[in-house]
Amino acid sequence: MTALLEIKGLSKSFSVKGKTFEALREVNLSVGEKEFICILGPSGCGKTTLLRIMAGLERPTSGEVTLDGVPIEGPGPQRGMVFQEYSLFPWRTILDNVSFGLELQGVSKAERHEKARRYIQAVGLAGFENSFPHELSGGMKQRVAIVRALVNNPRALFMDEPFGALDAQTRNVMQSELLRIWQEQQKTVVFVTHSVDEAIYLADRVVIMSARPGQINKIIDVDLPRPRIRTSAEVNRYRERILSDLKILRNG
């Protein structure tokens, strides 16, 4: 597998009220083309910060992230992002939300609406094109957020606990849907979560991070065929292993 994303010697510190706080220390990771990576860790381990640096929304204190060997200097449509909070523009219809990226690229209205329609249809939201975000449920909003990022045809998709605000049932449905999209679109996905189950269900590799300072503790290959059965013995073995890793981290 060729590496698409390279994280090299990445550190990040924040200054809060004169005190320096080390969010990330010496993080190294390489993410392959079409790979699905889950970053797992307790809150405060810097996983969101790491993702935001990869998206270009924050600058590292030292080290760098490269995409296809090119250092990331700022945000751009090459790297899509789905946030935990609902991030759809409330003043735009679903259709105009999804076609936003294309509008910025100067794609004609007919063309961008046509393309956006196809994506909206693909996630089962046909008929909602002219609705406004507040008329949609949480799961529907996140589906729109995902296709809004995908319409730009990014090299990588970053997801920051995108299903964190959803109920358990919807969350399971969304996970399967995401896997389907990922298999169809052949995208690299970096997915931040604090749910062990979610990570095992989704990822090719689970990156376990520890807090204070945030650093990568362990990388576990989830060598199971998809679709994975959430309650199978193999999945349970992985769960056992990851949970014990996390426990060791917690107890120092």
Partner 1 sequence: MNPFERGWEGAREHAVTVLSVAGLVVVWQILAMIIANPLKLPAFTSVISALFIQWETILWVDLRVSLIHFAIGMTAGLLIALPVGMAMGWSRIADRIFDPIVELIRPIPPLAWIPFAIIWFGLTPQAAGFIVFVGAVFPILINSYVGFRSVPRIYVESAMVLGATRNRDLLRYVAFPSALPSIAAGIRIAMGIAWMCIVAAEMFGASTRSGLGYRLWEYYSLHMMEMVFLYMIVLGLLGLFIDRTFRFVVQERLLRWQEGIRQN
Residue 132 near partner 1 by CB under 8 A: yes
Smallest gap from Cβ 153 to partner 1, in A, equals 11
* 77 near partner 1, judged by CB under 8 A: yes
Among 190, 192, 200, 194, residue whose Cα is nearest residue 241: 200
With CB under 8 A as the contact rule, the residue among 46, 56, 60, 139 that binds partner 1 is: 56
Question: Binding mask 16-55 vs partner 1 (x if CB under 8 A, - otherwise)?
Answer: ---------------------------------------x
* Segment lying near partner 1 (by CB under 8 A), choices 33-41, 128-136, 216-224, 233-241: 128-136
41 with 191: CB under 8 angstroms?
no
How many residues interact with partner 1 (rule CB under 8 A)? 30
Window of 25-33, 87-95, 163-171, 199-207 that interacts with partner 1 by CB under 8 A: 87-95
Q: What are phi and psi of 243, to 5 degrees?
A: -65, -40
In the set 89, 126, 183, 240, which binds partner 1 (CB under 8 A)? 89
CA distance 58 to 74: 8
Selected from 69, 74, 225, 252, the binder of partner 1 by CB under 8 A is: 74
State the DSSP string of 27-72.
EEEEEETT-EEEEE--TTSSHHHHHHHHHTSS--SEEEEEETTEEP
**Residue nearer to partner 1 on the CB measure, 64 or 132:** 132
* Sign of the alpha-carbon torsion through 79, 121, 86, 190: negative
Alpha helices, DSSP H, located in the chain? 47-55, 94-98, 100-104, 109-122, 138-150, 168-185, 196-202, 233-251
Is residue 205 part of the contact set for partner 1 (CB under 8 A)? no
The binder of partner 1 chosen from 69, 90, 225, 252 (CB under 8 A): 90
**Least distance in Å: CB of 128 to partner 1?**
14
Calpha distance 101→107 (Å, rounded): 9
For residue 241, which phi and psi values (nearest 5 degrees)? -65, -45
Within 8 A by CB and 6+ apart from 180, the residues are none
Name the minimum Å distance from CB 125 to partner 1: 17
Question: For the window 217-246, what string marks contact with partner 1 as x by the rule CB under 8 A?
Answer: ------------------------------
Closest approach of Cβ 148 to partner 1, in Å? 7
